[in-house]
Amino acid sequence: MGRNSKHGPISKLSIDERTVLTIGDIIQELLVAHRECKDVNLNQMKTRISSKYGLDSSPRLVDIIAAVPIEAKKILLPKLKAKPIRTASGIAVVAVMCKPHRCPHINMTGNICVYCPGGPDSDFEYSTQSYTGYEPTSMRAIRARYNPYVQTRHRVEQLQQLGHSVDKVEFIVMGGTFMSLSEEYRDYFIRNLHDALSGHTSNSVDEAVRNSSKIPHSARTVSRSIPRL
């Protein structure tokens, strides 16, 4: 026999209805905790209330934030922010991935390093050389078909929805083989990262950087490539 709520038997409610009720309860408990000056463990709260309404997983943080009443945003948004991503220093880190590319080491020796599980020659053939494709950044890149513009726009929008400032952005280019790709591709990739911030269509990397530097939400951008070690 299903548990009951003031809205009737929970088992008769759709997942969407139970999710709405869960989000409502989370927001109410956070407001009560704030009034009573109590600290709360957000993850434990989400798990407990989600279980109460028979959900297999907790609501997304962006959905909870979107449901916060306007008058309560100033109070609750700091409590609902995702883990710090250097935004305390005024910089939002946006990690992106270049397209899958065979490592030059494999081309020269035929050997694959044990700490590089992915790449075109692996079981994870649609992943970049240093990754499996199941990491959060990898999954975002795959959904965007490794398009640098789309990766950047989606990530910036997600960070904004999570309450983070994106006044300054640092790009981390992941994958492990970026510098071995053609200069033409590297220019295309970096140019589109900056164009995604400014909304312009630039003809060169220098032009793209100048355009993005003029936009308030991209006052400083840094690009660097890192392998996974």
Task: Kindly report, residue by residue over 58-110, the tens digit of the pLDDT.
Answer: 998 888 888 889 898 888 888 886 555 555 567 888 999 998 887 777 777 87
Question: Which has the closest alpha carbon to 169: 188, 153, 145?
Answer: 153
d(CA 151, CA 96): 6
Number of H helices, E strands in the chain: 9, 5
Nearby residues of 117 by Cβ (< 8 Å), 6 or more positions away: 124, 130, 131, 132
Residues pairing with 221 in the sheet:
169
Please give the pLDDT value at position 134: 79
**Cα dihedral across residues 82, 88, 90, 96: positive or negative:** negative
Contact 122, 113 (CB under 8 A): no
pLDDT for residue 218 is more than 70: no
d(CA 142, CA 126): 8
pTM for this entry: 0.64
DSSP string for residues in 99-149: PP---HHHHHH----TT---STTSSSTTS-TT--S-SHHHHHHHHTTT-HH
pLDDT for residue 28 is more than 80: yes
Please give the pLDDT value at position 152: 95
pLDDT, tens only, 157-173: 888 877 777 888 889 99
Q: At what angle do helices 183-198 and 205-213 cross, to 10 degrees?
A: 20
Listed range (52-56, 102-106, 193-197, 204-208) with the worst mean pLDDT: 102-106
Percentage above 90 pLDDT, the chain: 34
70-75 contacts: CB < 8 A, separation 24 or more?
A: 72/27, 72/31, 75/31, 75/34
Give the mean pLDDT of 3-12: 63
Please give the distance of CA 215 from its chain centroid, rounded to a whole number: 21
Q: How confident is the model at residue 4 (pLDDT cuts 50, 70, 90)?
A: low
Please give the pLDDT value at position 229: 42
Please give the pLDDT value at position 42: 87
Please give the pLDDT value at position 121: 66
Average pLDDT value over all residues in the chain: 82
pLDDT for residue 138 is more than 90: no
What are the strands, taking DSSP E only, across the chain? 4-5, 8-9, 92-97, 169-174, 221-225
What's the token pair of residue 155? 């990530």
What are the strands, taking DSSP E only, across 22-130? 92-97
Highest mean pLDDT among 15-29, 71-85, 91-105, 123-137: 15-29
Give the mean pLDDT of 192-215: 91
- Going by their DSSP bridges, the two strands 169-174 and 221-225 should be labelled as parallel
d(CA 67, CA 50): 16
What's the token pair of residue 130? 């240093």
Contact 62, 158 (CB under 8 A): yes
